[in-house]
Structure 1
Amino acid sequence: MIIVIAIAGLLMAVGAVGAIWRIIKGPSALDRIIASDVLVATVMCALGAEMAVNGHTDTLPVMLGLALFGIVGSVSVARFISSRDDT
């Protein structure tokens, strides 16, 4: 079980580092926005895995807040980009 947890943690860390790298080096604003959504999703997955391993639901409100942040952020960016393309 420890090996599975370590592999999952390593893969989530690699995903988070890749997203941070794209936020820093992204050639366009849209790349940075998508990378920030990936980072939020990775953090949510890590929190969910931590809850499953330790058998508690203490961080569930944090996950719900991050999900709300991700949805509102994606929708607002999509509306901004679409209104900018119309003109």
Structure 2
Amino acid sequence: MSLAAYITLIMMSLALVVVFIRLVKGPTLPDRVVALELMASIMVGMIGVHAIYTNSSSFIDVAIVMALTAFLAAIGFARFLERGGPRHD
């Protein structure tokens, strides 16, 4: 792998750590949902970088499936929050 790929993956890894801290410390549930979605987006980017530098197109398929799954999860969380969040009956 080239130096650019290593630098990109290191920066994305640091971004994952920062976003994970926001996921754990997030004061509200919407903050945690946004952090989780951002983590999925960063991981899709990391898979894309790996696919480009290994010249393997099968990783692109994995990235697409992961992006679609993360999108559906974000829609589900948004719908959950729209309906009032957790109920304490």
Pairwise TM-score range, normalised by the shorter structure: 0.7 to 0.9
Q: Name 1:73's counterpart in structure 2.
A: 73
What are the within-5 Å matches in structure 2 for residues 46-57 of structure 1?
46-57=46-57
Tell me which stretches of 4 or more aligned residues in structure 1 moved more than 6 Å: none
Sequence identity percentage? 21
Q: RCO (CA 8 Å, sep 6+): is it higher in 1 or 2?
A: 2
Query: Structure 2 unaligned runs (5+)?
Result: none
> Greater share of helix residues, 1 or 2?
1
CA distance in 2: counterparts of 1:5 and 1:79, whole angstroms: 37
Q: Does the residue aligned with 2:58 lie in a helix, a strand or coil? A: coil
Query: Structure 1 unaligned runs (5+)?
Result: none
- C-alpha change, 1:3 and 1:61, in structure 2 (3 Å) is closer
- Deviation, 1:56, is 1.0
- Deviation, 1:58, is 1.9
- Deviation, 1:2, is 2.9
Q: TM-score, normalised by structure 1?
A: 0.85
Per-residue CA deviation, residues 8-47 of structure 1 (Å, 9 max, x unaligned), is 1121011111111111111111111111111100110000
- Deviation, 1:60, is 2.5
Paired residues, number? 85
Q: TM-score, normalised by structure 2?
A: 0.83
Aligned-residue Cα RMSD (Å) equals 1.7
